[in-house]
Structures are given as structure tokens and as C-alpha cells.
Structure 1
Amino acid sequence: MSEPAPRILLLRFSGEIATKAKPTRRRFEARLVRNVRDALRGAGVDAAVTRTRSRIFVASGDPRAADAVARVFGVQSLSVATVHPAEKLDDVVHAAYECFRDAVAGKRFAVRARRVGDRSRIGIEPRQIERALGARLLPHSAGVHLDAPEVVAGVELHEGNAYLCSDERRGPAGLPLGVEGGAVALLSGGYDSAVAAWQMMRRGVHLDYVFCNLGGRTHELGVLRVAQVLGARWSYGDRPHLHAVDFDAVAADIRAKAKTRWWQILLKRQMLRAAEALASERQAEAIVTGDAIGQVSSQTLSNLAVISQAATLPILRPLIGANKDDIIRLAEHVGTARVSAVVDEYCAMVPSHPATTSRADAIAAEEARLDASLLAQAIAARRVFDLRHLDPDAHGVPELEVDAIPDDATVIDLRSRTAFAGWHWPGALQLDFDRALAAYRSFAKDRRYVLYCEFGLKSAHLAERMRAEGFDASNFRGALRGVVALAKSRRLAAPEAIE
């Protein structure tokens, strides 16, 4: 009985690599092999990796190998293949017939054959294989369908061997991570910034991340979970870090001294300054953001122009023309959508009437009133996380959320007076977030407090602060929507009043 043909993973390079000049191509291919090996090590897979001019071969019996290398930038596609000698046409056709006969049974199929590498060393024409193998398989099938086959019988001729593969799994393509220098990416935890970072990694750019924390450790935990996906699943060949900068004092300074309509623009400029300071330290050459034209008020062309003037480094915005639904679909592919969906917007810095246009001189006048030392202090006190060796839940927060409101609880609504007047939990007290932050230490400690706001970050932030001072404080799960749902279930408010 003959030995079964060896099975390997066959990795095809991104088409962009093949177009490079020889020195550049050699450098890119060497980096790609390094990144593939790192992906396999990271998955705990023992494998032998070899490279030829046009392919990478991974020999491993571990089924996890394919999942790992399918997330390596620069890999166009991959297939599980069996290897056979390719000395004679009849031998190749016979081996392929035995390989694909059962697979095409009752199905429409196509034969795809190609030569790879030095064609002078391969005396068999791909067209010969397609005709001969197609004729052998046809009686077992439901017919040939070249445009939409149910089964593809793939044959690659390469350096004296025939590689038979019935599947072709797409990789991310692009360029090998690390070949195009480094940048820092502002990461908020939402869909956009994570997808923007992934897009730049796909172009070969090494990234570190900067998170300007406005919402305490609850916000930080959500962002760490997003960053872990980028670091652990996609950053093969790299060791990215996340720099968490506490923006509490910076944001409070803006709220206290600047006109409300400029808050978002001033905040974004401070974030760019933080990113540029860390980029300088990390010798990065650009800043990456998730901005998309017109998506929010700070992302109008006028405002983006003024915001951009806060940095001297190039600002890369890979999503600038993307629609939100396209961004979310890509986030699902990347794997960040599920964790980004629960990282809410920090509404304390979103005014009811934000500026949609701005002038550099007006913003400069506002910034002149701010304390520049607060940003430097925040950067110096930042926390740094290694994203390839990170357990986000090890950096978690105490359980702050509740889904019930006890009768004896003091309920605090952190929304604006206008929103509070529209509807609030019966008996709730209204406190603007800034007032609550300034006043909570004077609250009675013998009471139980339940807090809520529009999206849940302000209330979680304040509950965390109060817990640290010894208060019995909780954040209502589901934020305003959750409170409304509870009110409806108790028939405490007419639904039409709170839709």
C-alpha cells in the first residue's frame, strides 16, 4: 500500500509584492516569512516554514495553522494541498483524478491549473492538465461550470511538484506588517478607530496605540478588549503597545474654561498633541485616526482642517470616505465589532449644539485659556499595555452595574436639565456630570446610589469614583434605555412620553 501524499499549507503572496523591484521584493518576502512564523508560534503550532520565489509552504499537522496564517498581512490566499511528483502529464492527471473524484460527485466543477516559478523547469502545460483532468472527472460530476463551480480542482505546478488543492481561502492581502515604517493610532474603542488601525496594518504600517481615557477604568477595559483583538489576532511579527492617557483633568479644564460649542474641537486637538508626543518618543512617522467626513460634528471639513493644525506629523485617515455600514461590516471581519458595540460614547464632552465650522484664530483664543501643563502631566503618568501579552479582564473593574432600582436608592440622573425635564426616573435627582464630579464627596455615605446617563460611561465613571471613596454606588446596566425599559415594566411612565 502506497504512502499517502504529504499535506501542506500553500500560501500565495499578495499580488503587490510580486510587482516590487527585486531588492524590495526580497525584503518584503523575508518579512512575510518572519510574520508567518510568528503567527504559528503565537498559535502554539509546531511547523516547518519554507519559501520559494512565489510561495510559502507550511508543513504542519495542526489544524490551527490555517487559521493563524490566514490573518497574516501579505498573504493573498492559502490552500491545504497534497504534494505529488510532476514529471509526467499522466502521473499528474491520475493523482488529481484520485484526489478530486469523490469531491465532484454530483456537483458542477472547474479545473484550474497554473505554473508557478521558473516555467523552463516545468514541461507540462496547464491547459493540458485542465483538458485531461476535466475529461476524467466529468462522468462523476453534474457537469462543468467555469463561472460558478461548486468544486474547484486546483493544480499548481511548481519546481517539479504538483500541488493539488480543492479549497482556496482568502487572506487579508496587502503588505507584510512592518515594511512601511511606524505610526501611532488614536484608539477610542469604537468601530471606526479600530478599523482604521487595521487598514493601516494591512498597508504594512507598524502601530502603537494611544487611548485618551475620559471614562475611567470601565472605559479603559472596553478599549483594552478592542486593542487585544488587534494585537493578538492581527499583529503578527510586531509587538504593539497601548498607551492609556488619563484625560480627566484635560477634559475638565476644557469644560471649565472653554465655550461649550468648541469642546469637541479642543478635545480632539489635545488628543492629537498626546498622540504626537508619543509618536516622537516611539520614533513613529504619522498619526492614524478613524475620522470619516461628516459622520459627527467634529468631522466636517472645516473642523478637521482646524483640528489637524494641532499636529505637525502627517495625519492618516483611511476611513475618510467610508460609510458607517461599510465600517461596521469590516469591523465584523476584523473581529472588533462585538467588543466595540459595547464601548459607548463619552457624552460628557458632546454638547447639544456643537460647532460644525471653526476658525483657527477662534480656537487659538480658547486654547490660550487652557492649562498646557495638564496634558504633559497626563502623558507622563500614562499606563502602557503589551497587546501581545494582555488579559484585559485582569485589568478589570469592580462590578459596578445593577439592573434593578431598590426602593430605598437615591437615583441620580446625570443628563442635562433639558433632557431630565423631558423624562426621568420618578424621584430621581438631576445633576450635571461636572457638578456631580465636584460634589459627590459631600454626599451622605449611609445611602445607596444608582446612577444613569445617556450611554452609560458618565454614570460608570462616577460610580467608580464613588466606590473608591467608600460609597455604595452603582451604574444602571443599559444606561438610559435600560432605565426606560425598567420604568415601562413597572408601569411607572407612559411609553409615549419616553420614546
Structure 2
Amino acid sequence: MIWKEILIRYGELSTKGRNKKDFINRLRANIRHLFSDIAPLEIVSERDRMHIKIENDEQYEVLMKKLPTVFGIQSFSPVAVCSKELDDMKKLSLIIMEQFKEQEITFKVEVRRSDKTFPLESHEIQREIGGHVLRNNPNISVQVKKPDVELRIEVRQDAIYMMAQIIQGAGGMPVGSNGKSLLMLSGGIDSPVAGYLLMKRGVRLEAIHFFSPPYTSDNSLEKVKVLANELTKFGANIRLHVIPFTEIQVLIKDRVPSNTIMTTTRRMMMRIADKLREEIGALGIVTGESLGQVASQTLESLTAINDVSNTPILRPLIAFDKLEIIDIAEQIGTYETSIQPFEDCCTIFTPANPKTKPKVEKVTYYESFTEFDELIERAVRNREVYKFPEVNQVKDKFEGLL
């Protein structure tokens, strides 16, 4: 195997000031956690990039597969190493460019010469290596501006480091660098995407799900567990808090006018989420709401829902349309699970004509005839907690359910 390290470029992290080191340390810790199965990893952090040493083929394969999902990485490249002899450099350049032999491409050679004692100047290295590659690869031509491939050569103190592949990373900020929030995870398409986008901005998540048996099935709960587990592939553990919601949801149906059932249900969910948020030390609540998508997501409805909490409600999808959300869900691998046909508590007891412009004072008045506080306390107290990622999980959790 020619690959000896993977070079990671930070991207947005490079714009940070005095606290830049904190972000880099968080990224390094996340990488160690995500790749604990191939530990130990030797990771060397620099101001603008990071190096992961590769010891064997297994490490290389796992790193190349998972690194594109790690937030905080702008791009990365597998790096080969050879001695500082010109013949060895020429041989290595051909081996690296071999991967492009079936393509008609343009290229150029870029040189970074940190060892100033190396006898050849940067332009001389470019001429020697570039000419050798061209003579041996008739499918390749030179283009200085925006080539298809850049063969990058770094002359370091100990050896020559060479790379030609630049793989895009997930971008964003390392998970955990911007605090913790509580994700309201319904099981639909939107909420996992909302969680993904907040994780991309460095927010560590715990999730809350409202479960209303027998109106919602074990299959619907299993679907949410799969979605929570899917989100962990972006570099962080997630705890899922499952709230027993049947008692409260039935009471709402019996006690408030049918056209405000949806609004009161969302308000009770928000009150429960806020109580749990306080208990786990989260700073915000994350939802998958998109303005105007359904009756409970009009500006008037969102105002009525927000009325029960002073906690920041983070809605990363607020200006997205449904097709944009679906595109992201497909990209991150949650879409096929989200469309499994198992009802969640948001779709039961739905009135034919829900209020799209509820008045806060009227909703509060209808709710005042029922004592919800003790029910909310009990629901939070009786929750079940699941930790993800799961170990030794079954490959297809839905096999045989349909």
C-alpha cells in the first residue's frame, strides 16, 4: 500500500481566531471517537490542517469511507510517501496518476517546499515530475488554470509527500463545538434533516420522540430509532428520549375544541421538550418545521406554539420547500426510512379543518380547564432512554414488517 497518511483541510475552521485551537481539538476528538474501531490512530494537528497516519489497509479503507461524513472537514487527500531521490519521486508520481489512466484529463504539478535545503527549486520539481508524467500518460495534458487534477508534492524535512485526489468533506463545524440542543424527532422526513443541519453547525444533539400506543405502533418507534442511529454516522452519539404521550393526547382530544387539537398538542409537546431540555442541560430545542408546509406551521401557529417556552426554538428548515428537504434526506440516507408507512403521534386525532391562524389567548383559555402540569411531569419521569449508535445492530430492521 502506497498511502501513508490522510491530509485533512479544515475549511471554515481556518477563519477562527484565538479559540481556533478549541475547534481543532474538538475535531480531533470527534475523529478519534468515530474511528475507535480502528484505534489507535496517530493524529497530528497543525494550524490549518491535520494529518492521520495510516498503518494498514483496514485503516485506509475505513477512513476513506467515513471521513466524508465528519463535520469540520472541508476536504481530505490520501498521501503517498517516498524518499527525496528524484527517481523515486518520478516512480511515485506514475503510481499515483495510474488511477486516471482510463480518463482524458488535464493536470498540473503544485509544489510546497518546506525543506529549503532540498537541492531542486519548486519550478524545477514541477518541470521534472510534470514532464515525466506527460511522457508516460498520453491521456493527460497540461492546463495551468483549473485543471482536472492537481498532482501536489510536498517537500518536508523527512521525505517527499505526494497526492492527487481531493475528496470533499462534510464542511461545517465539529459536532460539540456549539453546545447541545434537543431535537424533536417525529419519524417523518423533516426532523432528521433538521438534526443533520444543526449537527453541521457544531451542535451536539439529544432527541425526543412522543409515543402514543396503541394509536402508534412499535414499528413507528423502531423507525425513529433507526433514524436516530443514522444521525450518529456524522460523528456523535445520540440519546433518544421516548415520551409516553397517549394519556395527554387522549385528554387533549376530549377537552379542547377539535379545530385547536393540533395547536394544543404541539404546545404540550413543546412544554415536555422544554422540561426535558432543562433536565439534560441542552440550550435549545430543534424542530423540522417549515413555514406554511402544514396547518401547524403557519406563522400564527408557530407563534402560539412558541408561547409556552422562552427557550430558543431552532428551525433550520423554516425557509426550505419540501423538495429541497427531500433532496437532503436522500443525500444523508434518511429518506427511505422516513417514508416507511407507520403513523406517528402527529398524524392521529387530526381534525378535518384545523385552525391555521390560532389565537394565543383562545388556545390558552381552552387549556385552562385541564391541569396538564402533573401529566407533563409524569410523562418526562416515565420516559425510556435509548443510546445510539447501536452495537451489533441487525442490518435490515424492517425486514418482514411489510
TM range (shorter): 0.7 to 0.9
Q: Which amino acid aligns with 1:226?
A: L
Give how far 1:45 is off.
5.1
Aligned to 1:234: 234
Contact 1:46 1:60 in 2 (8 A): no
Pairwise CA RMSD: 3.0
Aligned to 2:132: 136
Task: Give yes or no for the alignment of 1:109 onto 2:103.
Answer: no
SS across alignment from 1:171: strand
Contact 1:180 1:204 in 2 (8 A): yes
SS across alignment from 1:322: coil
Give how far 1:7 is off.
2.2
Give how far 1:226 is off.
0.8
Aligned to 1:218: 219
Give how far 1:299 is off.
0.8
> Which residues in structure 2 correspond to 1:72-471 (within 5 Å)?
72-85=70-83, 90=86, 94-105=90-101, 107-111=104-108, 113=110, 115=112, 129-139=125-135, 140-142=137-139, 143-144=141-142, 151-156=149-154, 161-214=159-212, 215-231=216-232, 233-236=233-236, 239-342=237-340, 344-346=342-344, 347-372=347-372, 373-389=374-390
Contact 2:288 2:315 in 1 (8 A): yes
Q: Which amino acid aligns with 1:113?
A: E
Q: Which amino acid aligns with 2:14?
A: A
Q: Which amino acid aligns with 1:12?
A: R
Give how far 1:349 is off.
3.1
Give 5+ residue unaligned stretches, structure 1: 402-476, 478-499
SS across alignment from 1:102: helix
Please tell me whether Structure 1 or Structure 2 has the larger radius of gyration of its CA atoms: 1
Q: Which amino acid aligns with 1:290?
A: G
Q: Which amino acid aligns with 2:371?
A: D
Give how far 1:342 is off.
0.6
Q: Distance in 2 between matches of 1:303 and 1:125?
A: 67
Distance change (3 Å), C-alpha of 1:337 and 1:161: farther
Q: Distance in 1 between matches of 2:284 and 2:260?
A: 25
Task: Give yes or no for the alignment of 1:9 onto 2:2.
Answer: no
Superimposed CA distance per residue, residues 34-64 of structure 1 (whole angstroms, 9 cap, x where no aligned partner): 11111111x4455333323322323232122
Q: Which amino acid aligns with 1:35?
A: N
Counting matched residue pairs gives 388
Give 5+ residue unaligned stretches, structure 2: none
Distance change (3 Å), C-alpha of 1:101 and 1:240: closer
Aligned to 2:21: 26
TM-score by length of 2: 0.86
Distance change (3 Å), C-alpha of 1:146 and 1:189: farther
Distance change (3 Å), C-alpha of 1:152 and 1:363: same
Give how far 1:229 is off.
0.9
Distance change (3 Å), C-alpha of 1:111 and 1:381: same
Distance change (3 Å), C-alpha of 1:384 and 1:91: same
Q: Distance in 2 between matches of 1:25 and 1:92?
A: 38
Give how far 1:207 is off.
0.9
Give how far 1:292 is off.
0.8
Q: Distance in 2 between matches of 1:48 and 1:112?
A: 28
Aligned to 1:471: none
Contact 2:111 2:126 in 1 (8 A): no
Contact 1:298 1:356 in 2 (8 A): yes
SS across alignment from 1:50: strand
Higher-RCO chain (CA-CA 8 Å, sequence separation at least 6): 2
TM-score by length of 1: 0.70
SS across alignment from 1:339: helix
Give how far 1:257 is off.
1.0
